[in-house]
Structure formats: C-alpha cells, structure tokens
C-alpha cells in the first residue's frame, strides 16, 4: 500500500511540473513581453514542486538500496555516479580567488557543474560563473586592478571636481559630528558621528550591479534559471541565523553574502532583515544544495584552514570575527563528495596576488581530477558549456538606463544631487521614447556625486527593468553626511618647521552648497588664522563664490633649518599679512577652474640684520593694498605633497595698488616715516607634470616649468622690495628660508625630478632646479637648488627624509630635514 501511494505522489508531481512547463511555453509563443516568471505557478510553488520531486526520487533510490542488503556499505558510499554534481565554494576574502582555478580545471576536464553555492567571496565567484562569466573573464577582472580599487573604499580622483578640493588644508584626521535638536531643553547638541564601516562600499555596489543586474533579468529573479542554478548564504544579525538566497535581486544577494562585519556596511532586505557576511554562520554552504537539489555528488573548494583557535597572538580582525561567527564544519556527506583545499596565505583584501592564488586552485584541482573521474561518470564537453553560456547571455539585456531616482534626501537636496549628476527630473510617458545612457555614464555621474564627500549611501542601489522600454532604472537611497566636521593635521619636523593644524567645517546642503570653515595653523615659523566660506551653485556649469579673512605671521631665518654647514649670516625676515578675500569661479571642466578674485588688506614687513651686527636696528614697512587676479588652473595631481601622477597648469595675471609706509635705519634714528604709492601688474605661468609615458614600474621622470613677469617697483628699503616680490620655491624647504637669491621681479625656472619606486608608496626622489633671473637688474642671474628625498606615503600623510643643497656663496648651503605630514604655508595676499 505504501509503495502504491509513493508512485501515485511521484506521478502527480511530474504531471504538475509538466503542466507548468506547457503553460509557460504557450505564453512564450504568444509573444508575452512580461519580465517576471512565465510559468503557471508562482516561483515559490515551482520550487516547492521541484523539491518534492527530488525528495521522492531520493526516497525511491533509498527504497531500492534498502532492499539490497547484500551490498557492502562502503561500496554504496563510494560508488560512481552519473547524477547531478554540485560545487560548493567557501568564503575567505582574497583567498577565494582560488575557486576560479578550481572551476577552470573542472571545465577543462569535462567534470559537470550542475549547481553552485557559495558564501562571501565564494558567492561572488559562484554568481559570476552562474551568470555566464568564463574563468578567463574572471581572471581578467582580477588582474585588471579593478578589484583593489573596489575594496579600497576610495573614489578615484578622476571623478572629483578640482574646485571642491581645498589644497591648502593639511588634514590627517577628520571627525564628523551630528547636530541634533534637544526638544526637552530647546537647544542643539553635538554628537560624535561614528562611521557605519571602515570601507565605503560605493565602488563595490556599482561593480556588483554592473556584473549581475543583467543576469537577474535573464533569470526573472529565480536563481534556478541562471546559467547554473545558484545559492548563496548571508547572516541575519538580529536573529543570529543563516539566510539562504534562492531568488530575488542577484547583486543584492551577493552583496549581503559578502558584507564582512566592520569592514563593509550591512544591508537590509525588504523583510527588514539586517544582513552581513554569510561566513558568520555558514562558510561552506553545501546544505543549501542538498536541501534544494539533492545532487548525487558534491565538490567542495576550500581556500582556508579549518577553524583555528584564537590565541593572544591572533590579530584584532581574527579576534573580532571569532566573537561574531560560529565554527564551520568543512566536511561533506560521507561518501558523497570530495574537497579540493589548500590553506591560501593571502590576507583578507590582498587581491594583488590574485593570479598566483588562481593558479594554486587550478593546480590542486588537477591533482583531484583522476579521483573525480572515477567517482563521476557524467561528462560535459566544453562546447556544451559554451552553448549554455551563449544561450543564457542572449537573454541578458544591455545595461542601459533611462532614469535615476534619489531617495532619502529632502526636496532641495534631491534637486542638488540630480543636477550634480545631470539627471533632470522629467516625466516618462509610455508613448515617448526616452533616450538612454550607458552604465559607464551612470557610474561616472554617481561617483562624481559621491566624490564630493557630502553624501553617504543608506541602502544598496535598487535596479529595475522595464520589459516594454527594454531599459533599466536605478534608485539610490542617500543621506547627507553630518554637517559638522573637525580636522586635525600638521607637520612633525626635525627642524623648527613643526606645525599643528586644527580645522572646523560646517556644511549645509539646499539649493546651494554652503560651506563655512575656520582654520588655525600654529608653528614657530608660520602661523595662520583663517575664517571663510564658499557657496556653490549647481548647474550645467558649476559656479562658486569664495569669501574669507586671513591673518598670517611668518618668520624666515636663513641658516637654521637643518643646516649641516656653519651658519654665519642669519637674517630674521618677518611678514605679517591680514587681508580679506572675495572670489568668483567657474568649473570649466571637472579638473579646471577659471577664477576672478580680489584681496584687500595690510602687510607688515620686519627684518633684522645678522646677529654679528647687534647695533643695527630693525626696520619696518607697512603696505596697505588691493590686489586682483584672473587665474585659470587645471590640476590632475594625485597628492597634495610629493605627487607621482598627473599634472598642474596655472596661468594668471594680477594687478596691485597700494601705499607703502616705511622706515629705514636713518629714518628710525630721526623717529620719522615715509610713505609712497606703489602699483604694478604681473603674469605667471606654471606647469608641473608627471607624464605617464615617461614611466616604468620602477622609474619615472617629471618636470617643473615656471615663468613670472612683473614691473614690481622698488620699495622704501631693499628688504621690503625683496619680501614683496615673487619668488621661486619648488621645494617645501625653500619656502622656509629667507633667500634673496630666489626672489625676482622677472624670472624663468625649470626643474627635473627623476623618481625611483622602491616599493609601493615608497620612493627615492631627486630634483635639480635652475632659476634664471632678469640679467638686466640682477648681477648673479643664475641660481640652483638640488634635493634628494626618501618619501613614504602613509594613509594619513607623507613621511620624508630630505637632503637639500643651494648654490649660495656662503657655507650654509646644505640641509637635512625629516618631515611627517604636510609642510604647507598660507596663501599670499599679493598672490605672488
């Protein structure tokens, strides 16, 4: 009786499945354009029927085996199978690239892969394979350097608008603060805004969308209808349980599975579940395949060691992960599987060595091929795999977008964001053909917005497909970052040029972007206090209005900045500047700015003769001025200090008008002062370039060209004339010294800077610079300086050890200096 009921259930299930397939075929033939699920049953119903069928088949197999008591148990467990094969890919960060080599070896040896499951990095590789990517294409992605860019959390500089960056801020750390309203006490409070994660996932989110969104459409949101049926695992943080994904949005499922705690921000699904890395609860998800497909054989790919106990020598990352994970059982059902494994030595995000890791997986899989061929009799030629791949890819639509929605912002902020990304809000009637743009352009516009550092993502981008229009729409959920930011930075030096920088920024976003700031630079050589703001106007051509008030004090001592030769001619040349600034600029391109500005203020010059002439009094000069400048600037430099890529071109003209009130030693003795009007005009060209075509992996050459022409007048005494003149300072050290040899009304200069790359971010950089002053007004019109520096770029600032030599006639012409940070001076009220 039981046997009859069993066969009845089995026949009924086959009839239901066949009925659904016939109905689906009829709808396809009728030309139905609907995207979702062309079957008579819902997705969940079809999956339930499939699982029931598989269980019934498995029961039949078990019943048959139970009736054969003469079969030896071990023989049953290790018998060859011609059934379906499932591939299980473990998580492991960059170690998971091992799986690519395993898949490549299996395909080349015609071992079939009927189902695939993965967790974390295993989910990424498994989804790539299930979406039709070849192992060569996966390898190309790894070796292109894109993966390192995705996991860096940094938006590439090419997406940034140059005018939004403040080049004169030596910030090393920044802290955001939330302004919250205390309704009980009717006042605003500041709360520390801690980051959601250490790595910004904007790059990863866009990459996953590009890689997997077309596959979601091709499968109708059913992972059984991918090229290879696929499963991945995430972890529900609040319920402390594994979550299996068998359908839905493929990019989202992969993103949930790889959301490594602390490093990447968790994601929230439509059921409200907060999801993180599936490896926390199931890092080897063979059970997902067993439950849904009951494959006859399982192949596991394991790229990391078994669960290691934590010791006091374990890294912080391992200690934290041990607290939020449960041990994973890296074993397959006895007699039903084989694991290809190796303890890959790569670190979590070490994708640079990906090619070697892939090769290790390939080699290990080749060693397992003889045993796999003994235990799996089915074969799948590569031509058949390619036919399946081509058939699936034909169903994947082109990733073209007609619109982009922004949620989470108020109306004005949405308008600002859409305008910044050049997505004007417009109706989309069915009768109108809306022009589409490529995913590359969508990504560029999105990264351009995120590069402003004014927004953060609240959720994974949601992509939907319109089957009638044959295009996509993207929905972003953003929020503006906390409005208050404190900055800390400066420079630690072996010389007297030590400096502390403290900054305060407040940002408010509405129809315009309003930034106010206060900066303080404190040091024995240079002290600057600056208060100002900027109002940005978004449009086809971004514009801004700058305004600030600055006070600075600078003391230049010749011969006291790391000299290794005797110093006998110290001159204390002090400049105190106080001025107001107003500027209006246009962003002519993403990296170019045209600006017209006006400065008005007061300069005070003071200078003392050499210390071996104590009877000579100091002299002073007061100069009230108004100066204007029209400047064009284009910059693609990759760093504020010691750049290695890009270039910067500056062209400007200035005009200065002022009144010089001065005293000389003779006037000082008579307690008198003289005054006179001064005016001049000038022009300046500067080009600093690090050519990419002059570069090898270990060596590059860059150059610096600068030319200045002014009709700068002679002031009441020679020191004021020198200190108010343009000067050539291509090195940070040269800005610290009072060197009349490098001041001139008119000059042309050139520098060559060969750089030797010793390790990533570690360079030996040389520099030779020559300055030609106007020979008509200067007796010694050729001057030189040379520099040799070891530079290491840390995440918070550069570390450098430099030897600098000048062609002074005196002996104090060679200096040694160590710096950690950014040796930056305030801007000049007279421009140059």
Q: What is the CATH number of the domain that holds 88?
A: 3.40.1090.10
Which structural domain, as residue segments, surrounds residue 492?
A: 484-821
Q: Name which residue leads in pLDDT, 491 or 17.
A: 491
pLDDT higher at 164 or 33: 164
d(CA 723, CA 744): 10
End residue of a domain, out of 461, 480, 499:
480
Evaluate whether residue 263 is within a structural domain: yes
- With bands split at pLDDT 50, 70 and 90, how would you rate the model's confidence at 166? confident
Q: Which two tokens stand for residue 286?
A: 């063979």
CA–CA gap between residue 253 and residue 629 (Å, rounded): 55
In a domain, 535, yes or no: yes
Least trusted range by pLDDT, from 182-191, 348-357, 689-698: 182-191
pLDDT digits (tens, 9 = 90+) for 34-57: 333 333 344 455 455 455 544 444
Residues 474 and 548 in one domain: no
Task: List helix spans (H) across 168-266.
Answer: 202-219, 250-257
Residues with Cβ within 8 Å of 344's Cβ and at least 6 positions away in sequence, in order, are 92, 95, 98, 303, 304, 357, 360
In a domain, 564, yes or no: yes
The encoded tokens of residue 778 equal 């200067």
Q: What is d(CA 542, CA 420) in angstroms, rounded to the nearest whole number?
A: 8
Determine contact, residues 356/363, Cβ cutoff 8 Å: no
> Among 298-302, 492-496, 633-637, 822-826, which stretch is predicted with the lowest mean pLDDT?
822-826
Are both 442 and 356 inside the same structural domain?
A: no
| Distance, C-alpha 542 to centroid of its chain | 23
Task: Answer yes or no: do 594 and 494 share one domain.
Answer: yes
Three-state secondary structure along 389-401?
Answer: HHHHHHCCCCCEE
Ranking 239-248, 512-521, 733-742 by mean pLDDT, the lowest is 733-742
Q: What is the mean pLDDT of residues 228-232?
A: 98
Beta partners for residue 298, in sequence order: 86, 337
Q: How far apart are CA 572 and CA 558, in angstroms?
A: 7
- Distances from the Cα of 674 to the Cα of 48, 606, 679, 711, angstroms: 98, 15, 17, 22
Domain boundary, last residue among 480, 495, 525? 480
* Cα distance between residue 240 and residue 359, in whole Å: 36
End-to-end CA distance of the chain: 101
| Total domains in the fold of the chain | 3
How do beta strands 619-635 and 267-268 pair? unpaired
- Euclidean distance between CA atoms 607 and 719, whole angstroms: 7
Asked whether the beta carbons of 467 and 34 are under 8 A apart, the reply is: yes
**CA distances, 516 to each of 82, 414, 485 (Å):** 71, 21, 11
- The token duo for 148 is 């390192």
Q: What is the 3-state secondary structure (H, E, C) of 374-419?
A: HHECCCCCHHHHHHHHHHHHHCCCCCEEEEEEEECCCHHHHHHHHH
CB 235 within 8 A of CB 242: yes
pLDDT digits (tens, 9 = 90+) for 10-38: 343 443 334 344 333 333 333 333 333 33
How many other CB atoms sit within 10 Å of the CB of residue 5? Answer: 9
Residue 173 lies in a domain: no
The residues, any chain, with a CB within 8 Å of residue 220's CB and separated by 6 or more, are 35, 36, 37, 38, 43
Number of helices (H), then strands (E), in the chain: 17, 31
Spatial neighbors of 8 by CB under 8 A, at least 6 apart, are: none
Closest among 384, 382, 426, 383 to 404, alpha carbons compared: 426
Q: Token digits for 385? A: 């795999």
Dist. CA 348–CA 341, nearest whole Å: 17
pLDDT(365) > 90: yes
Could you tell me if 319 and 444 lie in one domain?
Answer: no
**pLDDT value of residue 191:** 78
Q: Is 594 strand, coil or helix?
A: strand
Summarize pLDDT for 233-265 with one digit per residue, the tens: 999 999 999 999 999 999 999 999 999 998 999
Give the chain's mean pLDDT. 84
pLDDT tens string 63-95 = 333 333 232 223 344 567 778 999 999 999 999
Q: What are the residues facing 69 on neighbouring strands? A: none
Q: Is residue 1 part of a domain?
A: no
Q: Are residues 657 and 798 in the same domain?
A: yes
The closest of 156, 150, 800 to 492, measured between CA atoms, is 800
491 and 443 in a common domain:
no
822 vs 132, which has greater pLDDT? 132
Query: Are residue 76 and residue 103 in the same domain, yes or no?
Result: yes
Same domain, yes or no, for 93 and 240?
yes
Shared-domain flag, residues 138 and 241: yes
DSSP for 668-701 reads HHTT--EEEEEEEEEEEEEEEEE-GGGB-SSEEE
Backbone angles phi, psi at 618, to 5 degrees: -75, 155
Look at residue 30 and tell me if it is in a domain: no
Q: Are 448 and 493 contained in the same domain? A: no
H or E stretch covering 702: strand 699-710
Q: Is residue 40 part of a domain?
A: no
Indicate the residue among 439, 462, 480 that finishes a domain.
Answer: 480
Let me know whether 513 and 608 are in one domain.
Answer: yes
CA–CA dist 215, 36 (Å, integer): 13
Phi, psi of 55 (to 5 degrees): -65, -40
114 occurs within a structural domain: yes
d(CA 691, CA 701): 7
Could you read off the pLDDT of 420-442 as tens digits, one per residue? 787 665 444 554 566 888 999 99
Q: Contact, 660 vs 720, CB < 8 A?
A: yes
CA atoms within 13 A on the CB side of 408: 16
What pLDDT is stored for residue 432 in this prediction? 54
When mean pLDDT is compared across 46-60, 185-199, 407-421, 771-785, the lowest value belongs to 46-60
Higher pLDDT, 269 or 512: 269
Q: Could you tell me what percent of the chain has a pLDDT over 70?
A: 83
What is the residue whose two structure tokens read 């979601």?
A: 216
Q: Could you read off the pLDDT of 302-355 as tens digits, one per residue? A: 998 877 777 877 777 777 777 778 888 899 998 899 999 999 988 888 898 899
- Specify the pLDDT at position 825: 82
Dump pLDDT digits (tens) for 622-654: 999 999 999 999 999 988 889 999 999 999 999
Predicted confidence at residue 768, as pLDDT, reads 97
Give phi and psi for 17, each to the nearest 5. -65, -45
The CATH number for 415's domain is: 3.10.20.310
Q: Are 456 and 555 in a shared domain?
A: no
**What letter would DSSP give residue 727?**
B
Q: Are 208 and 254 spatial neighbours (Cβ–Cβ below 8 Å)?
A: yes
Between CA 120 and CA 130, with CA 124 as vertex, the angle to 5 degrees is 130
Gyration radius of the chain over CA positions: 34
- Coil, helix or strand at residue 584: strand
CATH of the domain at 696: 2.40.160.50
């Amino acid at each position: 009786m039981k046997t009859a009921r069993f066969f009845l259930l089995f026949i009924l299930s086959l009839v239901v499945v066949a009925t659904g397939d016939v109905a689906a075929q009829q709808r396809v033939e009728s030309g139905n354009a609907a995207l979702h699920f062309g079957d008579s049953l819902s997705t969940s119903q079809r999956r339930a029927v499939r699982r029931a069928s598989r269980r019934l088949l498995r029961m039949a197999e078990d019943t048959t085996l139970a009736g054969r008591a003469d079969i030896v148990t071990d023989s049953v467990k290790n018998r060859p199978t011609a059934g379906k094969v499932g591939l299980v890919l473990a998580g492991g960060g960059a170690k998971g690239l091992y799986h690519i080599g395993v898949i490549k070896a299996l395909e080349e040896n015609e071992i079939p892969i009927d189902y695939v499951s993965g967790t974390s990095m295993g989910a990424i590789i498994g989804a790539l394979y299930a979406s039709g990517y070849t192992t060569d294409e996966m390898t190309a992605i790894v070796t292109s350097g894109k993966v390192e860019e995705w996991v860096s959390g940094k938006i590439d500089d090419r997406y940034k608008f140059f005018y939004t960056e403040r080049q004169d801020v030596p910030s090393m750390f920044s802290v955001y603060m939330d302004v919250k309203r205390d309704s009980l006490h009717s006042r605003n409070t500041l709360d520390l805004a801690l980051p959601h994660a250490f790595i910004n996932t904007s790059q990863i989110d866009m990459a996953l969308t590009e890689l997997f969104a077309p596959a979601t459409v091709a499968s109708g949101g059913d992972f059984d209808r991918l090229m290879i049926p696929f499963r991945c695992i995430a972890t529900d943080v609040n319920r402390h349980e594994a979550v299996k994904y068998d359908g839905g949005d493929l990019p989202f499922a992969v993103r949930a599975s790889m959301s490594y705690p602390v490093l990447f921000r968790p994601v929230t699904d439509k059921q409200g579940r907060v999801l993180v890395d599936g490896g926390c609860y199931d890092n080897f998800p063979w059970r997902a395949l067993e439950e849904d497909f009951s494959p006859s054989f399982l192949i596991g790919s394991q790229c990391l060691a078994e669960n290691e106990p934590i010791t006091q020598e374990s890294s912080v990352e391992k200690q934290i992960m041990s607290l939020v994970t449960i041990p994973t059982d890296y074993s397959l059902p006895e007699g039903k599987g084989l694991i290809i494994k190796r303890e890959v030595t790569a670190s979590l995000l070490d994708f640079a060595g990906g090619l070697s890791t892939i090769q290790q997986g390939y080699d290990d899989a080749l060693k397992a091929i003889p045993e796999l061929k003994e235990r799996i009799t089915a074969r799948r030629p590569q031509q058949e795999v390619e036919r399946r791949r081509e058939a699936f890819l034909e169903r994947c639509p082109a990733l073209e977008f007609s619109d982009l929605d922004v949620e989470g912002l108020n109306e004005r902020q949405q308008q600002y964001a859409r305008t910044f990304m050049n997505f004007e809000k417009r109706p989309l009637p069915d009768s109108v053909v809306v022009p589409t743009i490529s995913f590359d352009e969508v990504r560029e516009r999105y990264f351009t917005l995120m590069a402003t550092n004014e927004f953060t993502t609240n959720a994974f981008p949601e992509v939907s497909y319109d089957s009638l229009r044959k295009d996509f729409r993207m929905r972003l959920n953003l929020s503006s970052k906390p409005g208050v930011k404190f900055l800390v930075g400066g420079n630690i030096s072996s010389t007297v040029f030590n400096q502390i920088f403290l900054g305060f920024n407040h940002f408010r976003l509405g129809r315009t972007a309003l930034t106010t700031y206060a900066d303080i630079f404190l040091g024995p050589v240079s002290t600057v206090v600056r208060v100002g703001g900027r109002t940005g106007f978004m449009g086809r051509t971004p514009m801004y209005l700058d305004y600030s008030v600055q006070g600075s004090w600078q003391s230049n001592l010749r011969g006291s900045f790391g000299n290794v030769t005797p110093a006998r001619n110290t001159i204390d040349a002090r400049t105190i500047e106080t001025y107001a600034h107003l500027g209006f600029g246009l962003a002519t391109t993403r990296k170019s700015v045209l600006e017209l500005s006006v400065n008005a203020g007061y300069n005070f010059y003071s200078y003392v003769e050499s210390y071996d002439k104590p009877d000579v009094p100091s002299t002073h000069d007061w100069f009230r001025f108004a100066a204007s400048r029209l400047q064009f600037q284009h910059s693609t430099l990759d760093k504020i200090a010691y750049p290695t890529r890009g270039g910067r071109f500056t062209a400007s003209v200035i005009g200065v008008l002022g009144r010089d009130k001065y005293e000389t030693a003779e006037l000082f003795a008579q307690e008198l002062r003289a005054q006179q009007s001064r005016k001049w005009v000038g022009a300046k060209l500067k080009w600093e370039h690090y050519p990419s075509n002059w570069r090898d992996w270990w060596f590059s050459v860059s150059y610096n060209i600068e030319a200045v022409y002014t009709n700068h007048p002679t002031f009441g005494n020679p020191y004021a004339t020198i200190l108010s003149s343009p000067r050539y300072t291509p090195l940070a050290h040269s800005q610290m010294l009072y060197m009349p040899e490098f001041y001139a009304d008119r000059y042309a200069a050139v520098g060559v800077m060969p750089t030797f790359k010793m390790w990533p971010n570690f360079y030996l950089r040389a520099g030779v610079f020559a300055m030609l002053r106007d020979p008509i007004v200067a007796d010694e019109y050729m001057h030189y300086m040379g520099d040799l520096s070891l530079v290491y770029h840390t995440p918070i600032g550069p570390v450098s050890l430099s030897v600098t030599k000048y062609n002074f006639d005196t002996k104090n012409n060679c200096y040694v200096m160590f710096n950690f940070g950014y040796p930056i001076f305030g801007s000049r009220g007279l421009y140059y």
